[in-house]
Amino acid sequence: MLLHLNPRWAPSSGGKKRLEEQACCALLVPVLLLSARDGMISHPDFGSLGPGPGGPCLGPGGREDDEDSPGGDSNTSLAVAAGRLLDEREETRPVLCAASQRLALGRREGTSRVAIGPPRTAIRGRKAASMPEAPTLANSRDHLGGAAALVRDVGASMPKGLESSTSVTTTPPAWCDRKPPESSSSSRSNATTSAGTSVVRRTSAPSSAGSTVLRSSWVDRLAGSSANGVHGDVSVNVRLRPGSNSEDDRCAEPCRELMHSVRLRQIGSRYDQLGEAQYQFDHVFPEEASQEEVFNVTVAPICEAVISGYNGAVIAYGQTGSGKTHTVVGTPKFRGVAPRAIHCIFDALAQRTLWSVDVSVLEIYNERVRDLLNPGAVTHVDVHEVRGEHEGASFRCPDAARRQACTPEEALAALAEGMKRRETARTDMNHHSSRSHLIFTLTATQRDPEIGATLRGRLHLVDLAGSERLKRSMSTEFASPRGQPLTRRGSGSGHRP
């Protein structure tokens, strides 16, 4: 998560509320993310693998490869996250309340200077000394461990017939990150599990031994990850937008005394009594931080994980004009994380023999999901909620276009095409303001024909609409067809309650 702050956001009136909005972001975002765990870095996808329209596009040395699964495993676990977070107010309210409670309690405990426990502490389940445990975060270690537990559960639920019918006989390639099974037999099967829970596909499904090794490998990684913070974790980072020259003008700055923390300061005599507040993050990017630095620290590790078969998401959150689109997409001169991630993933795939990449660009606008790669008029696509026995709910947009990309340029062209169709509106704060949530998803699929294994990782890059309330940004030009504001409270732009 990349949280964006505009240090100049210190208006003379209504300042307290606005400062609170920025401060609340710091607390709300990590808490909210927990409820979006499925859209975060997670275990390799157990779902069925479906080729997108146009069929698979294979990398150098690849060959046309037919998938036996029906198409439709799609791309919007992030849309999920965003959609659920922003639209299902009933669900998020307790979480929001918990965060507000934390903020309030934190304030009460300090007087003029309040040090709020670091979000990462809360996320990783180490209760901050001064923090009451938020009710909806009940034991967040369990929450993080949920992914690992999920893997165990899915493995445990392998149908018996499947377990005994197949085996893996060859040593997996280096990229597969698996050990060969201890015992093997030659039988093969096209069987898949009832819930599509086998990641080994097409001509074979894992043997009992093989799948156990596979699972334990993932479980180890996931379990290890929550301990070492490399994978399977949520990191919350802040980037400060440049632009404020004078000290008096600034309401946010990196804290020199405490690493990776930001100090928020209220400007103006009316709210001086509020004092300062410090928030600690995984990383704080000062105003002078380059695009490259942001990518290297926050996104490059996720790209590596995607190549290893994990799903990852990068979500840019912040007020309008705070630099979300600049960070995610950037400009030709200052390339954002999206083009860098695309190049990074393609560079890694170039070392492999058999791979394919497809991309999709979706937009959540006015509470509906739109497919921005549809060549005709921009169309809405339905969101299907799928509830697996062990996987919880996931959301898919099977009708959304998934464009095959053989080169980074093709993937970038798809992103550019989607950006062009994205709804923008002029606000008083940002003349090219994004009024929708943009979700760019890149799916990297690698195959090993020898063992019939498929390894797939997804990267979701999300540029959220401005988090401010609509009336604050005075975005009066956009209204729904029914004359309502673009988004209601609690959803889309201005989604804070």
Ligand X SMILES: Nc1ncnc2c1ncn2[C@@H]1O[C@H](COP(=O)(O)OP(=O)(O)OP(=O)(O)O)[C@@H](O)[C@H]1O
Which residues fall in the annotated binding site? 318-325
Identify any residues that bridge with 264 across adjacent strands, giving them in sequence order. Answer: 252, 277
Smallest gap from Cβ 239 to ligand X, in A, equals 7
CA distances from 435 to 22, 71, 458 (A): 19, 31, 25
CA distances from 431 to 317, 411, 494, 495 (A): 18, 27, 17, 20
Told to check if 485 binds ligand X by CB under 6 A, we report: no
Give the DSSP letter of residue 170.
S
Number of residues that bind ligand X (CB under 6 A): 17
Told to check if 254 binds ligand X by CB under 6 A, we report: no
Q: Which of 143, 215, 326, 396 binds ligand X (CB under 6 A)?
A: 326
Tokens of 462: 């999300």
Told to check if 321 binds ligand X by CB under 6 A, we report: yes
Q: Which of 145, 172, 309, 466 binds ligand X (CB under 6 A)?
A: 466
Smallest gap from Cβ 280 to ligand X, in A, equals 21
Which parts are annotated binding residues for ATP?
318-325
Torsion angle, CA of 190/195/197/198, rounded to 10 degrees?
0
Told to check if 77 binds ligand X by CB under 6 A, we report: no
Smallest gap from Cβ 492 to ligand X, in A, equals 11
Told to check if 225 binds ligand X by CB under 6 A, we report: no
Nearer to ligand X, 148 or 338 (CB): 338
CB 332 within 8 A of CB 422: no
Told to check if 318 binds ligand X by CB under 6 A, we report: yes
Return the exposure string of 77-93: e unless at least 16 CB atoms fall within 10 Å of the residue's CB, then b.
Answer: bbbbbbbbbbbeeeebe
CB 330 within 8 A of CB 443: no
Told to check if 434 binds ligand X by CB under 6 A, we report: yes
Q: Compute the residue count for the chain.
A: 497
Nearer to ligand X, 84 or 472 (CB): 472
Q: Which of 207, 211, 320, 404 binds ligand X (CB under 6 A)?
A: 320
Smallest gap from Cβ 120 to ligand X, in A, equals 23
Nearer to ligand X, 110 or 286 (CB): 286
Q: Shortest CA distance to 75 belongs to which of 109, 45, 104?
A: 45
Q: Which of 241, 370, 403, 456 binds ligand X (CB under 6 A)?
A: 241
φ, ψ for residue 323 (rounded to 5)? 110, 20
Report the alpha-carbon distance of residue 184 to residue 227 in Å, rounded.
33
Told to check if 430 binds ligand X by CB under 6 A, we report: yes
Applying the rule CB under 6 A, the residues between 121 and 140 that interact with ligand X are none
Smallest gap from Cβ 9 to ligand X, in A, equals 12
Smallest gap from Cβ 368 to ligand X, in A, equals 19
Smallest gap from Cβ 326 to ligand X, in A, equals 3
Report the alpha-carbon distance of residue 182 to residue 286 in Å, rounded.
51
Q: Shortest CA distance to 359 belongs to which of 413, 299, 303?
A: 413
* Coil vs helix vs strand at 27: helix
Nearer to ligand X, 18 or 324 (CB): 324
Report the alpha-carbon distance of residue 48 to residue 254 in Å, rounded.
45
Told to check if 322 binds ligand X by CB under 6 A, we report: yes
* Coil vs helix vs strand at 339: helix
Q: Which of 52, 173, 206, 323 binds ligand X (CB under 6 A)?
A: 323
Told to check if 433 binds ligand X by CB under 6 A, we report: yes
Taking every pair of Cα atoms in the chain, the longest distance, rounded to a whole number of angstroms, is 78
Nearer to ligand X, 6 or 74 (CB): 6
CB 157 within 8 A of CB 195: yes
Q: Which of 76, 325, 360, 374 binds ligand X (CB under 6 A)?
A: 325
CB 223 within 8 A of CB 234: no
Told to check if 374 binds ligand X by CB under 6 A, we report: no
Report the alpha-carbon distance of residue 337 to residue 314 in Å, rounded.
9
Nearer to ligand X, 151 or 412 (CB): 412
Smallest gap from Cβ 458 to ligand X, in A, equals 23
Told to check if 83 binds ligand X by CB under 6 A, we report: no
Told to check if 436 binds ligand X by CB under 6 A, we report: no
Binding site for ligand X (CB under 6 A): 4, 241-242, 318, 320-326, 430, 432-434, 465-466
